Amino acid sequence: DVKVTQSSRYLVKRTGEKVFLECVQDMDHENMFWYRQDPGLGLRLIYFSYDVKMKEKGDIPEGYSVSREKKERFSLILESASTNQTSMYLCASSFSLADTGELFFGEGSRLTVL
């Protein structure tokens, strides 16, 4: 089975701190994604990557950056956390970027910024 592992299930950070959210997948997938999920808004795409060192902006990239140095690992970085970045963050991976490619999600990282 595909396993997408997010390093932290729960984090509490202070405003202005730098935050790293790590995601690792074990199925040699080409593509990896970071979403945030907020009540009443559904999932929104922050960034995705279709290859090592490659990245594409999603719908809401402002305030975030990403890093993909190895195929299996995709990191989301909040350079200076703000309270409006309190959210559930979901990482996903897929083998193919094609229309019908299956997305596999991690368990999520719930970030609270105080």
Partner 1 sequence: KNQVEQSPQSLIILEGKNCTLQCNYTVSPFSNLRWYKQDTGRGPVSLTIMTFSENTKSNGRYTATLDADTKQSSLHITASQLSDSASYICVVGGYGGSQGNLIFGKGTKLSVKP
Out of 8, 13, 22, 45, the only residue in the binding site for partner 1 (CB under 8 A) is 45
Nearest to 7, CA basis, from 26, 21, 25, 17: 21
User: Binding to partner 1 by residue 25, rule CB under 8 A?
Assistant: no
What is the pattern of x (binds partner 1, CB under 8 A) and - over residues 47-86? -x-------x-x----------------------------
Instruction: Count CB neighbours of 76 within 10 A.
Output: 23
> Considering the rule CB under 8 A, would residue 34 count as an interface residue with partner 1?
no
Stretch that binds partner 1, among 14-22, 61-69, 71-79, 106-114 (CB under 8 A): 106-114
Count Cβ atoms within 10 A of the Cβ of residue 62 and give its class: 0-12 exposed, 13-18 middle, 19 or more buried: exposed
Residue 28: which of 2, 46, 63 has the closest Cα?
2
99 lies in the site for partner 1, by CB under 8 A: yes
Q: Which of 71, 78, 76, 111 shows the shortest CA–CA distance to 93?
A: 71
- To the nearest whole angstrom, how small is the minimum distance from the Cβ of residue 90 to partner 1? 6
Distance (Å, whole) CA 77 – CA 69: 13
The residues binding partner 1 (CB under 8 A) are: 4, 31, 33, 40-45, 48, 56, 58, 90, 92, 94, 97-108, 110
